[in-house]
Amino acid sequence: MSRLVVVSNRVTVPKKAGDAPAGGLAVALQAALEERGGIWMGWSGNSSGDREPEKLDVREIGNITYALTDLTDTDVEEYYHGFANRVLWPICHYRLDLAEYGRKEMAGYFRVNRFFAHKLAPLLKEDDIIWVHDYHLIPLAAELRQMGFKNKIGFFLHIPWPPADVLFAMPVHEQIMRGLSQYDLVGFHTDFDLDNFGGGLVREGIGERLEGGKKFSTYGRTFKGGAYPISIETEAFAKYAVKASRNAMVKKAKESIEGRDLIIGVDRLDYSKGITQRIDAFEQFVRLNPAYQNKVTYLQVTPKSRSEVPEYEQMQRTVAEQAGRVNGALGQVDWTPIRYVNRSVPRPLLAGLYRLAKIGLVTPLRDGMNLVAKEYVAAQDPEDPGVLVLSRFAGAARELTGALLVNPYDIEGTAHAIARGLSMSLDERKQRWEKMMNHLLEYDINRWCDDFLKDLTTD
């Protein structure tokens, strides 16, 4: 079996072999690397200031070599905050209005990708399989090809891929499409993303879809494309949630809601997550259903993210003000309708809260997949499961058809779905939940990893 080389913007390095990594993705990638032996390369998350980064920080742990590099302040500003987070992120989440194009940032993005390729090159063997992750590193294969590497190289995009009209508004779209054409397999979360990619090639007259959409031909190359819905460690997470429900913090949280129905929202603070629309929907729900006054608690857990980007800083204020305003308008002396927690919570507490909640409110305006939706389902009690209210614009909606699907822009529609979820019969809740849980047990994170690697390694 060939060695596997994983390249991602950030790398999860365990302290010693066998240490459990934090997220499902890191678990699956480490398992695949451990099995085949391999390298995980990426940015350390640290800056070398204005000096060129020193040589790679290489650590051998078990069967895996972790290779990390620092980046200069300018690199971090231009490649990461600049182009990745201020152009590609909004464009791929259909937010043309938020993209900020700067020549410096665009050049920085391609420069840092070349830098990664040059750092990686000396570590590579001829038959290594290379798996590149996410929007930060699209041009990496093109750089490696230019240096003469003929290895199998796969790319997986962890965010959505937009339709042609959105994508082609980005000044460097041609270099980005050309960059993707240098891979042997380009993976997306859903068939919709895949269609957007293929449709874009055809619409612009720069390529074709072959074999019913499983292959593409453009810029003189033919390569595979596929939909691989990322997932969680379903079985492990379900067990974890049972254990978590006995946790002291969860018991305290349960006591504090005093028998009210819990509605939960868990998201990084990001404009793609639809948090302001969700708070509006909750407010509407209470106004339209006064019988629920003092009978529900909506808990929104939202850690800060990307505070260096102005839109995120602004959003932090907007959401806090909005939650305060709704509490002021609807609250009573003995009832705070919205509890807003602006930080990360420990995983046992999170799992226990999911299990406690009657409604999981997951309403992004656009999301590649949304793992919170899958975690919420996995955490439920099979004898008394809660209801998932899910945006049709999350990738997860393609699979979790037992959810109440909503259009997050339709505030009243979401308010009605909350009311419907809270009054749903046990039979219907069980039926809907079982359908979703069975799917997630089959399509877990290991399945995602295996399916991608199988398609990358076979012709």
Cβ of residue 339: shortest distance to ligand ADP, in angstroms? 13
Interacting residue with ligand ADP among 117, 167, 350, 397 (CB under 6 A): 350
> Closest CB to ligand ADP among 216 and 443?
443
Angle between helices 310-330 and 275-288 in degrees, nearest 10: 10
Q: Please identify which residue in the block is written with the tokens 């190289």.
A: 153
CA distance 403 to 380: 13
The CB-nearest residue to ligand ADP is 371
CA distance 260 to 188: 40
Check residue 157 for interaction with ligand ADP (CB under 6 A).
no
Check residue 231 for interaction with ligand ADP (CB under 6 A).
no
Does the annotation mark 97 as catalytic? no
Check residue 238 for interaction with ligand ADP (CB under 6 A).
no
CA distance 241 to 286: 29
The CA-based angle 160-186-403, given to 5 degrees, is 40
Query: Looking at 70, 134, 261, 367, which residue is catalytic?
Result: 367
Check residue 342 for interaction with ligand ADP (CB under 6 A).
no
Cβ of residue 172: shortest distance to ligand ADP, in angstroms? 24
Burial class (CB in 10 A: 0-12, 13-18, 19+), 107: middle
Residues 250-269 that bind ligand ADP (CB under 6 A): 266-268
Check residue 345 for interaction with ligand ADP (CB under 6 A).
yes
Q: Please identify which residue in the block is written with the tokens 């995983």.
A: 347
Choose the stretch contacting ligand ADP; rule: CB under 6 A; options: 126-134, 179-187, 219-227, 367-375. Answer: 367-375
Check residue 344 for interaction with ligand ADP (CB under 6 A).
yes
CA distance 437 to 428: 14
Check residue 9 for interaction with ligand ADP (CB under 6 A).
no
Cβ of residue 299: shortest distance to ligand ADP, in angstroms? 10
The CA-based angle 298-411-413, given to 5 degrees, is 100
Check residue 3 for interaction with ligand ADP (CB under 6 A).
no
| Residue 432: C-alpha distances to residues 240, 386, 437, 440 (Å) | 22, 10, 9, 13
| Residue 248: C-alpha distances to residues 308, 338, 358, 372 (Å) | 36, 22, 20, 22
Query: Looking at 93, 133, 158, 439, which residue is catalytic?
Result: 158
> Closest CB to ligand ADP among 94 and 223?
94
Choose the stretch contacting ligand ADP; rule: CB under 6 A; options: 116-124, 248-256, 370-378, 409-417. Answer: 370-378
Check residue 406 for interaction with ligand ADP (CB under 6 A).
no
Q: How many residues bind ligand ADP (CB under 6 A)?
A: 14
Catalytic positions, please? 158, 367
